[in-house]
Amino acid sequence: MRTDFSFTPEGHFDNRITRLFGIRYPIIQAGMIWASGWKLASAVSNAGGLGLIGAGSMSPEILDHHLKQCKENSKQAFGVNLPLLYHGIQEQIDLIIKHEVPIVFTSAGNPKTWTNTLKAAGIKVVHVVSSSKFALKCQDAGVDAVVAEGFEAGGHNGREETTTMCLIPEVRNQIEIPLIAAGGIGDARSMMAAMVLGAEGVQIGSRFVCTPEASSHLAFKEKIIEAGEGSTELVLKKLTPVRLLKNPFYDRVKEAENQCVEKEQLEEILGKGRARKGMLEGDLTEGELEIGQVSSTIRSIMPAAQIVEELWQGFNGLFKTIAEKTN
């Protein structure tokens, strides 16, 4: 556990991550597709964390709209999550620079490709990784911080299947730059556990989908709440491994995978637009419902600001509990 942090007189957190982003609490709301629009990002930022707009499901026009709204509605800094394999990425980057967005989290793809461009525009760059090896490459590429995301996280995942518990300590061992943990974090105890393992901040995804501010369909949010252990699985490893909720679409994928069909057949079953169908439009049967294992502990839809407050109070509470027990 790093010791270069402190609680401020105002009750905020001071460490490399809060200073890097200019935020009160080391809590980042993941920029998820079909969930993280300006409403969610501004709610989290206004509550003292860092809200991220999920550009991965936004055309340049839609991203432009969300950036405008977020700037108008956030008194604090917010950022954008930008998957690097998006075909319209140059336009998205132009918009991000035009709107003077101060922070960008990149994922999927080579951090060397865009990091210099973004940093030259004065933007803080963070890259999401699933291995120490890739974390080192990001450090070499000059990013300001990395998010190390474990096997339990929703959406696209690394091939090593390293869990958060095993990943964070090893990334911490190997890199110098600031480290944010993601995957399986949904409450104060998992936030504290991540910090104890060596992280300096936490990125939270699934928990923030279950908010009124997330743009996802209510039916999807309710399905997350119903989820128990074993409700998600990492599938489509022949294409790109993705963690999603089990549903009829999942059943078709598994049936095909259990017959060892070719890549092309899986691509055909996957088709186009299933994540939108499921997560935004609420089609729980045909949709691809990307979410994390931590769903099994999520019990309600709660305003984003209340989640941030609950995390922060709980995190503080754990410090007090531990301090009281220390000789």
Which residues in this chain contact its own copies in the complex, by CB under 8 A? 1, 3, 5-7, 11, 131-133, 150-152, 159-167, 169-170, 173, 183-185, 187, 189-190, 192-194, 196-198, 228-230, 233-234, 258-260, 292-294, 296-297, 318-323, 325-327
Residue (28 or 96) nearer to its own copies, CB: 28
Q: Which residue has the tokens 């998992």?
A: 190
Residue (285 or 321) nearer to its own copies, CB: 321
Distance CA 242, CA 158 (A): 9
Residue (51 or 150) nearer to its own copies, CB: 150
Using only C-alpha atoms, what is the Rg of the chain?
19
CB of 149 vs its own copies, minimal distance in Å: 12
Residue (11 or 248) nearer to its own copies, CB: 11
CB of 282 vs its own copies, minimal distance in Å: 25
CB of 164 vs its own copies, minimal distance in Å: 5
Distance CA 282, CA 284 (A): 6
Residue (77 or 165) nearer to its own copies, CB: 165
Distance CA 270, CA 284 (A): 15
Both tokens assigned to 317:
């509470």
CB of 232 vs its own copies, minimal distance in Å: 9
CB of 324 vs its own copies, minimal distance in Å: 8
- Are the C-beta atoms of 249 and 278 separated by less than 8 Å? yes
What is the strand order of the sheet 242-245 is part of?
A: 155-156, 242-245, 232-235
Angle at 159 between CA 153 and CA 164, to 5 degrees: 40
